[in-house]
Amino acid sequence: MRFSSLREELAHPRTSVQVCVLGILGGLIAAALIIGFRLCVEWVQNNALSALTELIGNTWLVWFLMPLGAVSIILLIAFLTGFKHYRMGIPFIIHRVKYHYGIVPFRTTINQFFGGMLALAGGFVVGREGPSVHIGASGSSFLGQWLRLPYNSIRILAGCGIAAGISASFNTPFAAVIFVMEVVLREYKIHIFVPVMLAAAIGSVLTRSVFGEVNELSFLAIAAFDEWMYLYFILLGIVLGGIATLFNSQLMRIMQLFRHINMIWRLVLAALITGIAGMILPESLGANFIDVELLFASHPGSWLLLAILVAKLVLAVFAIGLGVPGGIIGPVMVIGMLSGSLLLMPLQSIVNVEEYNSSFALLGVAGMLTAVLHAPLAALSAVMELSYSPQIILPAMLVIVPAYVTATQFLGNRSIFIRQLDYQNLPYAISSIRESLEKTGVVAAMTKEYKLFIDAPELALEQYLSANPTYIVVQKSRTELDVQYTLVQYDVSLEHNAHPLSYFSMEGLSNQATLHEVYEKLKNGRTGAVYIYGQSPQEIEGVITWNILQTFLQRAQY
């Protein structure tokens, strides 16, 4: 059978050439999709802005109409694909990875691609990492579905797609790997780490070939810090923990306040708020790093920085809270840069503000990402990679730790993704047994050493088992409508007048399934077996008994 040896190898939770190749292919697909997405965003943004400016002539009116026009098309696409497929973003992908092996509904991906493109081009304060994670996971996992690979390997493919998507979006391969492990998968296993790392590298290579070597945050240079400033970093982290907690709490408040409002009116309201803010303060629109670079280059005053920071925070809360299809990390990074720059101002009588502005902006990113996402390692790797400087590590640590402790212990803040999952009633936590069993596909555990009888009389079954008591015997019974498989064993109950043979009806599982599905079928009786099939549920490929499953349950984990 085609790909049978590939499926058998991928069913094992181990590092292999096959899983590495799979990671590379998944990374190629995801990175290509994200590069196409970024090019579409730039094209729509440039052409829509120039076309509206020529048509209307009034710049203020253009800023007001762009979000409304974007929402109109978003709603049209949602109507065509079905509004029930509007769930998207990183929390949704975390749920799909944990409970559905990373398999993402195709229509949600359509909504995410075009919706995210229009939201970013329309000036909403949302990030492109949300669409990148969704599109990357969907495109990469589709490869596994097309090849009918085991579900455990499709989950790895989804992780590879996420890493490649983030890497292609921000040109940060190392941070992408850490994000997948710390935020999405929430585990570190070498057989997952290696293909995810390869996919992230592929994403970075492709995005550099299209958009160039320069990182978008390369304008943030690191300065040498005096030792006394390390104490101020602790205070900086505490304040950033408070800002992050405020951001998370207000975002959830908006989501809960407008939960009973129809999605159409929620998106229209988000567009109106964004459009009005754009007319008053155009700098408040979007979550583009280029805009922050231009802002810093103009040497803004403290009050303008504060106004833009408050506007960005409010617009991000309303856009994401009301359901605009975009990510949360982009706005958090921009808010962190503005916060860090603003929190440098109290030191302007002591230090040269211009010299340290970029450094404090990066530290603001580290603190905000940590406290909002509860991902300190991902935040540290992100600022280190974005700055191209290891000198940021120690200062960033001194900001990250107080930001995290302040947000979690003193202010009771939780990860925004976990709060969104709870709010949407999307399960994400799984038991240790399920987590362990889902790493192995049924093809790796099934046995092909069984004796198959077709409508055999009981005497023949009994005679065979008496001569071969350790063999697995399966009886195949044909009916007009179906085929039934039954496990036949000696009755060892020692009951008086017991029948010599025991019959256990066997349910079928696809060869893509994992041992978790086997466990769910057999856990109540703690006996019996399931049969594994390929294309047709009527054709048996192998058998997994409860005893075989027990060997995997009792296997020591390293």
In this structure, the answer to whether residues 447 and 417 fall within a common structural domain is no
pLDDT above 70 for 27? yes
In this structure, the answer to whether residues 244 and 148 fall within a common structural domain is no
CATH number at residue 544: 3.10.580.10
11 within domain boundaries: yes
Q: pLDDT-based confidence at 2, cuts 50/70/90? A: low
pLDDT at 558: 45
| pLDDT tens per residue, range 482-527 | 889 999 988 766 565 666 788 899 999 999 999 999 999 999 888 8
Cβ atoms within 10 A of the Cβ of 554, count? 7
Mean local confidence (pLDDT), 528-540? 91
Which residue is associated with the tokens 């829509």?
Answer: 48
Mean local confidence (pLDDT), 367-378? 95
Q: pLDDT-based confidence at 461, cuts 50/70/90? A: confident
Provide the β-strand partners of residue 489. 502
pLDDT above 90 for 156? yes
> Between 151-170 and 90-100, two packed helices, what is the crossing angle to 10 degrees?
160
- Distance, in Å, from the CA atom of 520 to the CA atom of 541, rounded to the nearest integer, reads 20
In this structure, the answer to whether residues 456 and 390 fall within a common structural domain is no
C-alpha distances in Å from residue 242, one per residue of 174, 342, 418 = 28, 15, 18
pLDDT at 459: 84
532 within domain boundaries: yes
In this structure, the answer to whether residues 269 and 205 fall within a common structural domain is no
Listed residues 213, 245, 275: the one ending a domain: 213
Listed residues 151, 185, 213: the one ending a domain: 213
In this structure, the answer to whether residues 195 and 234 fall within a common structural domain is no
| pLDDT tens per residue, range 65-116 | 899 999 999 999 988 887 766 678 899 999 999 999 999 999 999 999 999 9
Listed residues 188, 213, 238: the one ending a domain: 213
318 within domain boundaries: yes
In this structure, the answer to whether residues 410 and 501 fall within a common structural domain is no
pLDDT at 67: 93
In this structure, the answer to whether residues 157 and 237 fall within a common structural domain is no
Write the CB contacts of 487 (distance below 8 Å, at least 6 apart in sequence): 472, 473, 474, 475, 503, 504, 506, 528, 529, 543, 545
222 within domain boundaries: no
Domains of the chain: total: 3
- Pull the structure tokens for residue 452: 């198959």
pLDDT at 86: 66
Cβ atoms within 10 A of the Cβ of 410, count? 13
Q: Which range, of 175-179, 220-224, 288-292, 426-430, averages the lowest pLDDT?
A: 220-224
In this structure, the answer to whether residues 194 and 268 fall within a common structural domain is no
> Of the spans 36-50, 404-418, 445-459, which averages the highest pLDDT?
404-418
Which residues constitute the domain of residue 163?
4-213
Cβ atoms within 10 A of the Cβ of 105, count? 18
In this structure, the answer to whether residues 400 and 283 fall within a common structural domain is yes
| pLDDT tens per residue, range 215-244 | 777 777 788 888 889 999 999 999 999 999
| pLDDT tens per residue, range 272-326 | 999 999 999 999 999 988 888 888 888 888 999 999 999 999 999 999 999 999 9
224 within domain boundaries: no
Cβ atoms within 10 A of the Cβ of 32, count? 17
In this structure, the answer to whether residues 369 and 416 fall within a common structural domain is yes
C-alpha distances in Å from residue 5, one per residue of 141, 144, 195, 247, 508 = 19, 15, 19, 50, 21
Sign of CA dihedral 359, 369, 297, 239: negative
Helix (H, G, I), strand (E, B) or coil at 130: helix
220 within domain boundaries: no
In this structure, the answer to whether residues 520 and 546 fall within a common structural domain is yes
More confident residue, 98 or 3: 98
434 within domain boundaries: no
CATH number at residue 203: 1.10.3080.10
162 within domain boundaries: yes
In this structure, the answer to whether residues 262 and 329 fall within a common structural domain is yes
